[in-house]
Structure 1
Amino acid sequence: MAGGAGKDDEPEPPRELDAAGERTSPDHHAPALPGASEEEEGASGAVEAGQDDAPEPEDDQEEGGDTMEDEEDATTHLPFAPAEEESLEETIKVDPSYTISLIRQLIPKGSSLEKEFGDSTQPDNTDRSEKSDKQGLPEERSVSPKDQWEECGYILWELAASTPQAELMINNLVIEVLLENLRTANSSRVKEICLGIMANLVCHESLVAAISLKNGLIATVVEQLFLKHVKCLSETFRLLAAILQSSASVSWAQALLPDEILSRILLIVGKTDSTTLLEKIIDFLSTVIDNRDLIAMLIQPLLKLGLVDRVIGLLTNEIDRPPDEKLDRKGSLDLILHFMLELSAIHCVSKAMTSNDRLMKVLVNMIKSPDKVEVASYCASVVIVISNILTDGKHLVPKISRDLPFLESLLEVLPEIPDDDQARYALWSILSCILAQVQGTELNSSSLDQFASLFLGKFGLIKADLEKLTPEDALLKGWISTCNRKFGLKFLFSG
């Protein structure tokens, strides 16, 4: 929620997000069906400047180079997604032996897991041709080993969305098999599939404890943050976002604490052009923000390493994109601004934001932009962020109080947020701060006339907003009362 004007006699609403601004998400992440939100090959998606990949060669080598696979706007490569309105259990009936056979297909050749798998898994006595005919097991005679591995992986990725199937997989060494592939594979596609399966598995809260205890799992997953492949990184952040919503969140967060890990995360924040990766990493960081224990562990180290600067860079890069690029990324700006809103509701982050003059300049210019009505969806978030920053940054008020075009543009936002009480509270909070500053400053008659003229010119907007007040709008009435006292504007608000 927006912060207050900062005076002892003024009402100050809570800083936490309310229903108007909070992220709506389940208690634990839902599994993602393969291909449901995958970015595709062929457009921009670099994590690091100058590291855009051409499509991978046949051997899928990725580890040794400085390039990264681009993956926007191509057809999905992941099969068998069931209809959205039906559950996986309703659409697919899978024999346990079939699932075990799929896991077996993923074991790296020559791995010690081959013997361990045979000794530890449930018996698999079904004839291979029968399984292939009945359930679609990829047949060796019709596909290459590489394609066979990938198809088996895609099917397991999908099946991992089912709790019974996920339990069966865990009991049959799937984590060990996936870990071995992550450690030994040179193929980015193999790693993406392994991470996608894991990300779906950890969405089942009942399995998280058993999964997290697997030797070397946490360290191996964290290592994937240093890949340069967009889809691998997207699945890694999806996995981390899911696990940080679980009962195992603290042990996983501890593995992220080293500076080199957090610095890598911030580098990706600042450099990615991929909309899907942007969504996944912001979801991951929002998960941290939503958990008090994780805030205590991770926010201060992230601030020390430049979180605020990275997020500001993310915002300015999005604003500065050419119009044709913005059309292809319609949701990105809203996503970034909402994340910034969440950050500004945390006191220590808001305080850090107040020391960055560039941020306030960018936000003020967004409100002053003549295009703001055309992209009104972001106005509410910008207003709330400004209000939260001013709560901890009183030193910023004098400058904006002299910016009459900003004040005029701020009042023009009122009709764009008629049903957003949180944003309206924030807007009146900003006005209260500005008018308090004006009242405490000696202004010449010309400046006073300019202020009075501005408010008179926007009288219709102000009156229309006041007419929406209900008996429940006590907080908003408090802001208006403050504005009356601060600047003697009773003639404007008397109806």
Structure 2
Amino acid sequence: MAASDSDTDEGGAPAAGGAGHDDDAPEPRPEPVAAGERTASDDAPSAPRASSSDDDEGGAEEDDAPDSPRGPGAAGEQPAPDHAPVALAAAAEDEDEEGAVEAVQDDAPEAEDVEEEAQEEDADATEEDEDEDDEDEEDAPTHLPFAPAGEDELLDDATTVDPSYTISLIRKLIPKGSNLVKEFSDKSSSSDDGESTLSEYKDQWEECGCILWDLAASEPQAEHMIDNSVLEVLLENLRVADSSRVKEVCLGIMGNLACHESLVNAICLEKGLITTVVNQLFLDDVKCLSEAFRLLAAALRCSASVSWAEVLLPDEILSRMLWIIGNTSNFTLLEKSIDFISTVIDAQDVIAALIDPMLKVGLVDHVVGLLTTEIEKSPEEKLDRPGSLDMILRFMEELSAIHSVSEVMSSSDRLMKVLVSMIKSPDKDEFARYCASVVIIISNILTDGKHLVPMLSHDLPFMGGLFDILPVVPDDDQARYALWGTLPRILPRRQETEMDSSSLDQFASLFLGKFTLIKDDLESHVVDEENLSSEDALVLGWTSKCLRSISFVMEKWIEEKSSQSKQDAPPTGNSIDDAREVLSYCHKALH
């Protein structure tokens, strides 16, 4: 989604105010306004500042924890210090005359350090400034408290922010002319003189919004914000604001509030919140969409999740969500949208309500398209979004474990072509980090796609690729389980297979070439057959079937080649000896 010129100065992304708009990401929907475009209006303030071009070139980074509170920094970064709770002085300068406190650092220094800093600052202060400070202290709340003398532990942020300051911040977010103004006039001694210019209002709105975004990461502060009608204010902004930046900040604050387990239920039951948030999915701004998906994921973890799921049921909404997943080039938006679907999968009541409707509007097609596009990217393009392929494949693992989804996947020739080509890839160094997921997906699909077995059972390079994965996943129990579960399905069986001489040669060559890998894996995973877990028992059964298949091929091949005349150019003695060695190992392992 491209950012418009009105969003940035010289192409930079918004800095201290929060996540910048991604210039490189294509717009999810081409017809509305470009991502990040802002329309100035009395009730829709836009971002007052933009970062330098260096910030824009840095790009958005991945959040460390998708469902943990985050600040308004660039896509997962911690917020810049000029608006974070640790340095609120910039906002406080405008607040002194309105009853708000100035600022204090979360990591409050010891009293000794505070006194030394105060002495240095007072050295430059005039007598007149000191008199004005005394007068301010009489009319406004006292300065935020510092650590008591002699106390080494840092104060919790809940104790370093005056409650009236938080209320004043919330009040600054009320859209001009809203009926909420009177409600807050009763709660706060601060008031708006009504004479501030539109530009001043915009600057003040973003500064206060970003501070609240930070404070919402603290559970005590989040509780205080909710008790003082912050949800009503945020919803009012989402309904009337035209600015993408305003919407992003509102969604970011709500996302942080919803990350607190003790509060999420109350938040999700707020009147009008569900519909208002879902409507934001039709915006064309990657930052707003990322925050909307983050909030939706948090909402689906609450007790009211079924109510949210019902709002998502219309085809138009589900199609929009899946379209975003399948078409965004922004890593953070892809991550948040995939995390949302993963949350749907994990919630039993929600998946029961949404999975069939999502399949109906093309869930599998969108995900297959996403995988195919990622695979076909050039090395340079892949560097722009590192980790995307791994995330997509793990997402497909989750989907393939659902019976109804696996059935649809098994009918996708396009998907099987991509997965098989990854197994057969000669570049195992690049493929190693993904092969475990690919094997698991194939194993799950074959459970519901038995019609695929004949095709795969004649693809010897595919079988060879599976054997090559054995040393890649020795410590990944799930991948090894899936691998040994797949091999017996596609290897030749004595009672079913009649092979001609050519096929026999090909299978014998495959087993002779890969047997060291098979042997090494079996000998490094010896189990106590008298105390087997259910998983070990299954793997033991599958490996036994594979060894019987290999024995069957070796016996027939030795018999055929040993009976050939010299004129038929039989293989060397060493080749037959190697086959006999493989056969002997199989017999011992099976008995």
Q: TM-score scaled to structure 2, two decimals?
A: 0.69
Q: Specify whether residues 244 and 72 from structure 1 end up closer, same or farther in structure 2 by C-alpha distance, changes over 3 A only.
A: farther
Contact kept in structure 2, 1:429 and 1:479, CA below 8 Å: yes
Distance 2:341 2:16 in 1: 23
Q: Partner of 2:22 in structure 1?
A: 41
Q: Aligned equivalents of 1:411 and 1:204: distance in 2?
A: 46
2:37 corresponds in structure 1 to 56
Instruction: Tell me, in whole angstroms, the C-alpha distance in 2 between the residues paired with 1:330 and 1:88.
Output: 38
Corresponding position of 1:150: 206
CA contact (8 A) 1:43 1:73 kept: no
Matched position secondary structure for 1:321: coil
CA contact (8 A) 1:159 1:165 kept: yes
Q: 1:50 to 1:347 in 2, by over 3 A?
A: same
Offset, 1:118: 2.4
Change over 3 Å in CA distance of 1:320–1:49 after alignment to 2: farther
Give the deviation of 1:37 after TM superposition. Answer: 10
Q: CA–CA distance in 1 between the matches of 2:367 and 2:425? A: 20
Identity rate, percent: 62
Secondary structure class of the residue paired with 1:374? helix
User: Which position in structure 2 is the counterpart of 1:206?
Assistant: 262
Deviation of 1:58 (Å): 7.2
RMSD: 3.1
Partner of 2:172: 105
Alignment length (residue pairs): 441
What is the Cα deviation at residue 60 of structure 1? 8.9
The equivalent residue for 1:90 is 156
How far does residue 117 in structure 1 lie from its aligned partner after superposition? 2.4
Aligned to 2:357: 301
Partner-residue secondary structure (3-state), 1:144? helix
Match of 1:230 among 283, 286, 290: 286
Amino acid at match of 1:114: V
Q: Supply the distance in 2 between the matched residues of 1:189 and 1:334 (Cα, whole angstroms).
A: 31
Deviation (angstroms), 1:195? 0.3
Per-residue CA deviation, residues 34-80 of structure 1 (Å, 9 max, x unaligned), is: 9999565332343246989476357399x9xxxxxxx8734856434
The one-letter amino acid paired with 1:295 is I
Check whether the contact 2:217–2:257 (CA below 8 A) recurs between aligned residues: yes
Counterpart for residue 488 of structure 1? 551
Partner of 2:571 in structure 1?
Answer: none
2:58 to 66, 73, 87: 73
Return the letter of the residue paired with 1:181: N
Aligned to 1:479: 542
Aligned to 2:274: 218
Q: Distance in 2 between matches of 1:376 and 1:431?
A: 19
Displacement of 1:146 in angstroms is 1.2
Partners of 1:436 and 1:205 in 2: CA distance = 54
Q: Quote the Cα distance in structure 1 between the aligned partners of 2:39 and 2:442.
A: 51
| Structure 1: stretches of 5+ with no match in the other structure | 1-33, 64-70, 129-139
Deviation at 1:251, TM superposition (A): 1.0
1:127 shift after superposition: 9.8
Matches within 5 A, 1:29-428: 38=19, 41-48=22-29, 53=34, 56=37, 59=40, 73-74=58-59, 76=73, 78-80=79-81, 90=156, 93-119=160-186, 121=187, 124-125=188-189, 144-428=200-484
Closer, same or farther in 2 for the Cα pair 1:37/1:419, shift >3 Å? farther
Q: Is the 8 A contact 1:208 1:248 kept in 2?
A: no
For structure 2, the residue ranges without an aligned partner over 5 or more in a row are: 1-14, 45-55, 61-72, 87-105, 108-152, 553-582
**CA 1:397/1:89 → structure 2, altered by over 3 Å: closer, same or farther?**
farther
For the 8 Å contact 1:37–1:276, the answer to whether it is kept is no
The residue aligned with 2:51 is: none
Q: Measured at CA, do residues 205 and 117 of structure 1 come closer, stay the same or move farther in structure 2, by a change above 3 Å?
A: same
The structure whose RCO (Cα within 8 Å, separation 6+) is larger is 1
Deviates more, 1:382-391 or 1:367-376: 367-376
CA contact (8 A) 1:88 1:161 kept: no
